Structure 1
């Protein structure tokens, strides 16, 4: 009998998502895959779940061609009717939200409520995109010439490549996919190899909606694979926009490859996010916010709080309260609804956690909570608090995808705003204060230089209505709400002469 989890009775629900022992990892209107067969593992026990046959380079080439053919049909469909298809995708996700959320818990390792919440994000962005499908467009601008109209025309870019990371294997694809679709684009998705089952399951849900509406399945294509497929996407001039979520190191390489061909890239890279608690902060907000931001998803969110700056007058009290809160975290299998803290995604992540803890000690830090690997199956580590480092310690300026929180004392607003901004990344940040002037200084040009600038809430847990993304080494990309839809379209400025005269701009006479 196979040792795969999918064949064990307690995991029979996986088959509700159309999964089996070996799954085809390529979809372009039909399912296939001629590449390497990989096995994905459950981070809570490191047991194999099922296998996925990845894309070969030939599969990739075939899929791109089919996607571009599908675009010719999709782009001709009016935007509100495209929105109707996205609405149906959202409804199909709603029907599978619990079972798909359970798969996220099983394969990625995040707790069940977060796994379900991640699918909910995709549902929410579908709802948002449906309304947006009746609103996208440019303004009519006043022309300086009589008998002329000046308008902005927005058109889809064409084929949008989407490379997502393991930590949000559903939501980040959803942010890109739903908005790209209503804008008139087709999508080609490459998820993280370690969450390939999630990529296959989500694509099966979408594919049924497309097929039921007699639309080409290649509108939402999938090529599971590794760096070879990602590199092909980055270098391929037929991929008009490439959205990449991942590390700053890899994102820099992707950005350079795309720029070399004068393509467009949308980069969502690393974060080294800070919470600042001033002397007037409401500690009943600070402590649970820091707890969720630092420990949620076992510290594996790009918006995870990795630095906590506490005013010297309240430092010791906050640290003591945090230690008590950490001690009450319920650890266990992530699919247990009572658990708040699950495993790291891979064994390699555990090694990186241990390395970061040792480096923090070498640089003068003191581990006041945690710092060890848990004695249990799977990739579990203790959520960790480190004090005593300098604000400029190299380890504190290094993003480690693990639940390590570096805590610092500060004396005044000017220095702590500067410390917030001194790291290379610029994703998320938050202050806790009741001072209205300080709040607006924080939001202003001399305040936080991040893309997400919060007040009295955690650094993580963004809503879909705002544009999501960061500055500096975070990449500058924006996804999800607000006017992020513009990233997925090309703009033309159009001047229309409906008169019988030919006046030139700026009053130029050429006769």
Structure 2
């Protein structure tokens, strides 16, 4: 593993102590504190990164502003061509970057490579979108007047991403914002700095080969209390896209709104699946297993609650427990591994604390929830996925614990199930398993799921890039990726052209004669 680590770092040109700031050149302040990147796979330090300072931040924002003045005037299809070339480079590095994601974050290698594939898909989507930034033509009530709307570049965009999708979420924002004419300032999670450096180096290659101005794609690696705070308060950054926890997201919203800036918030999920008596149980078992165990329960779309009809509850729990017992836990680089480690020991501690909280409130662990011991699990980040019997009103069930804990509960009527489903603060992803059209349509209707994503006979995880991604309530209301999410990265402008010789006013108003 160690030799493989060195190969990955060497291929990306990542040094043992690497600069954490890029704005056309790598800036490395030797007096700045270091962030250690520790692999949850082995517990070993992979490399260290110099944190950005406030002085670095000023250099980056100034360079970004200068770049924006040039980039916004590049025609959108030509901006799309740059994104196309970035997609080509990502294809070349798919396996290598996927390996680094697995090494640094701990998700399965197939998931790591899948995350890079998502970046490639977003690049392809953005290229097509660069020729489709449509505005409406509107019928004017005034003679010889044309009324329409158009979309203009917004400015430097701040992108703050989380550890669980360390590269894909950047692409959702940066590649769409790039074709919109914006420039990017990326602050990745300090838990996964190396993947960010690798992505920056891939992008740099395209930027330099195409002779583009420095400062279009920028990187700032730092603890949130320094550079992140500067970004939130900086009026030079009109939009902050933040992915992370609800408490932090609330602070982001308050501070950016305080300066009347814009936000895209992708916060916590508390995603539930309703299993009706008319469900295909085998299909549901597979979906629940991936939804609850995939990425070791560290997706914002992870299945966290299971609401099961009381007539099939015992049967379903028996089948699900049998499936959980077959889950192979171990090194995520191994092909037969189904679940890798949690991202760090803090995540393990949070999981154990949640289970203790559950028991105090009257819940019961039906399976799993243990820390694994042994040489293979020496990092201390490996656990068994947990099935826990609970009631929806428990405080711990109302919160999102970023770990593979699945809370299961019974229901008697669909109205009861929907009430439990919606009765949490979050509203990201949801699903129902049923072959009954009434149940399905009720779930999809205005009295049904209150989430931003509603699925039928598939799980809560694994959203496609073509649809807008995001949720309601404390999930933040933001939308990224597909559909018309591009509009968040641009400013809408209504235009009126008078091509006549008179000056009629709207609403039939007359204003004297001159």
TM exceeding 0.5: yes
- Measure the CA separation in 1 of the matches of 2:336 and 2:74: 46
- Aligned partner (choices 55, 69, 73) of residue 70 of structure 2: 73
- Measure the CA separation in 1 of the matches of 2:297 and 2:214: 36
For normalisation by structure 2, the TM-score amounts to 0.97
Corresponding residue of 2:499: 498
| Mapped contact 1:464–1:480 kept (Cα < 8 A) | yes
Corresponding residue of 1:386: 388
- Displacement of 1:23 after TM fit? 1.1
- Measure the CA separation in 2 of the matches of 1:490 and 1:86: 21
1:3-22 equivalences in 2 (<5 Å): 8=3, 11-22=6-17
Corresponding residue of 2:509: 508
Alignment of 1:51 onto 2:48:
yes
Q: Secondary structure at the match of 2:295?
A: helix
- Measure the CA separation in 1 of the matches of 2:298 and 2:329: 16
- Aligned partner (choices 226, 236, 249) of residue 238 of structure 1: 236
Alignment of 1:434 onto 2:432:
no
Alignment of 1:297 onto 2:299:
no
1:292-371 equivalences in 2 (<5 Å): 292-371=290-369
Question: How far does the alpha carbon of each residue in 1:453-506 deviate from its partner, in whole angstroms, 9 at most, with x for none?
Answer: 111101011000000000000000000000000000000111111111111111
Question: How far does the alpha carbon of each residue in 1:201-250 deviate from its partner, in whole angstroms, 9 at most, with x for none?
Answer: 00000011001100123100001011211111000000110000000000
- Give the gaps of 5 or more residues in structure 1: none
Alignment of 1:485 onto 2:483:
no
Corresponding residue of 1:126: 123
Alignment of 1:40 onto 2:41:
no
- Runs of 4+ aligned residues of structure 1 deviating over 4 Å after TM superposition are none
Stretch of structure 1 that moved more, 439-448 or 402-411: 439-448
| Mapped contact 2:272–2:303 kept (Cα < 8 A) | yes
- Give the gaps of 5 or more residues in structure 2: none
| Mapped contact 1:36–1:56 kept (Cα < 8 A) | no
Corresponding residue of 2:187: 190
- Displacement of 1:10 after TM fit? 5.7
- Displacement of 1:366 after TM fit? 1.4
Corresponding residue of 1:162: 159
- Aligned partner (choices 19, 27, 42) of residue 22 of structure 2: 27
For normalisation by structure 1, the TM-score amounts to 0.97
- Measure the CA separation in 2 of the matches of 1:112 and 1:176: 24
Question: How far does the alpha carbon of each residue in 1:30-67 deviate from its partner, in whole angstroms, 9 at most, with x for none?
Answer: 01132321211000121100111111110011000001
Aligned length, in residue pairs: 505
1:435-474 equivalences in 2 (<5 Å): 435-474=436-475
- Aligned partner (choices 193, 204, 207) of residue 207 of structure 1: 204
- Aligned partner (choices 263, 273, 293) of residue 275 of structure 1: 273
| Mapped contact 2:5–2:46 kept (Cα < 8 A) | no
Corresponding residue of 2:90: 93
| Mapped contact 2:144–2:500 kept (Cα < 8 A) | yes
Question: How far does the alpha carbon of each residue in 1:389-445 deviate from its partner, in whole angstroms, 9 at most, with x for none?
Answer: 222111111110000000000011111111111100000100001112222221121
Q: Secondary structure at the match of 1:218?
A: coil
- Aligned partner (choices 80, 84, 102) of residue 99 of structure 2: 102
- Measure the CA separation in 1 of the matches of 2:207 and 2:106: 30
- Measure the CA separation in 1 of the matches of 2:404 and 2:6: 29
Stretch of structure 1 that moved more, 432-441 or 8-17: 8-17
- Measure the CA separation in 1 of the matches of 2:366 and 2:138: 60
- Displacement of 1:343 after TM fit? 0.4
| Mapped contact 2:329–2:384 kept (Cα < 8 A) | no
What's the RMSD between the two structures over aligned residues? 1.0
- Displacement of 1:9 after TM fit? 5.5
| Mapped contact 1:14–1:99 kept (Cα < 8 A) | no
Q: Secondary structure at the match of 1:194?
A: coil
